Amino acid sequence: MSQGLVFDIKRYSINDGPGIRITIFLKGCPLNCLWCHNPESISPNIQKLFSTARCIGCGECCRVCPVQACRLTPGGLVTDDRLCNLCGKCAEACPTLATEMSGRYRSVDELLGIIEKERPFFDQSGGGVTFSGGEPLQQPEFLTEILEACGRKHIHRAVDTSGFVRTATLLKMAKSTDLFLYDLKMMDAERHRKYTGVDNRLILDNLRALAESGAAIQIRIPLIGGVNDDAANLEATAAFVAELQGAKKAVNLLPFHDVAKGKDVKLGRVRDLAGLHEPGGDGVAMAVELFSRYGLNANVGG
């Protein structure tokens, strides 16, 4: 039985599919979206996060480190990445959460046990489990096993995907997925590459193929001022979604908020978000109205 690298688990989630859900975030993503809310999801490896502001210089991490990778200096705590084996002992010992680890391997049985504890909420609300990321399909073997295990327990399963995966992998996963939350960023290939690091052709082709397979799909569009909230992109997106096979797809618009600044600092990552802004009420209302002209039911959030 395989293990999956999980970086977060969110209970009582009401924005990741129907009802009250538990959302499991898997590490690793082939995209690198400029606006990513979960920058710790991009690397497929365990990472050590550090917040200078929280560090009180107690030296506990240095005391427990088995390979002497941590060192307190006049300038603050320093970790030698060449020595650090990411064992996580420093994070366990840190009294202030200045040091944290992102990513923990979990078995299917362990995760299933966590998911099953939420069953009363699923039963009351028509909820279930959602696998998100990162890109959960980056761990296909583990995802298949946990989806099948949840299916045997009659738990509703949603998968939130960027669609940037091998078509065969996606269609295979559809056999054990009850609902896809499919992210569509923008229609122009060059602009897509500029802001996410990858071309969008595979994403669009996969969405068509998934719709043709009869899978249940909800479209998710991050609405980012200065990036994809212009009328031309929204028109092209709405036209594309309206032409997909099967029942008309529900569309969720997710207005951008710059919430990842603190995580960037802990990862030692710098992003220039100067050209991005929250889309504003008028822009969001315009988008909802535009999608409705194509016969699509667009909601804000979820």
Q: Which amino acid is at 207?
A: L
Left, alpha or beta for 288 (phi > 0: left; psi -120 to 50: alpha)? Answer: alpha
Among 53, 57, 73, 82, binds ligand SF4 (CB under 6 A): 57
Q: How far is the CB of 53 from ligand SF4 (least distance, A)?
A: 11
Pick the stretch among 82-90, 120-128, 131-139, 172-180 that binds ligand SF4 (CB under 6 A): 82-90
Nearer to ligand SF4, 96 or 124 (CB): 96
276 binds ligand SF4 (CB under 6 A): no
48 binds ligand SF4 (CB under 6 A): yes
Q: Are 269 and 42 in contact, with CB atoms under 8 Å apart?
A: no
> How many residues contact ligand SF4, by CB under 6 A?
26
Give the footprint of ligand SF4 on residues 84-103 (CB under 6 A): 84-90, 93-94, 96, 98-99
Q: Are strands 3-13 and 104-107 parallel, antiparallel or unpaired?
A: antiparallel
* Residue 248 DSSP symbol: P
What is the torsion angle, in degrees rounded to the nearest 10, for the CA atoms of residue 254, residue 38, residue 267 and residue 65? 150
Q: How far is the CB of 89 from ligand SF4 (least distance, A)?
A: 4
Pick the stretch among 37-45, 52-60, 250-258, 285-293 that binds ligand SF4 (CB under 6 A): 52-60
Nearer to ligand SF4, 88 or 140 (CB): 88
Percent of residues in the chain assigned helix, strand, coil, to nearest 5: 35, 25, 40
- CB under 8 Å to 293, separation ≥6 — which residues? 238
Among 70, 143, 186, 187, binds ligand SF4 (CB under 6 A): 70
Beta bridge partners of 106: 4
- CB under 8 Å to 124, separation ≥6 — which residues? 19, 20
Q: How far is the CB of 262 from ligand SF4 (least distance, A)?
A: 16
In the complex, the residues that contact ligand SF4 under the rule CB under 6 A are 48, 55-61, 65, 67, 69-70, 77, 79, 84-90, 93-94, 96, 98-99
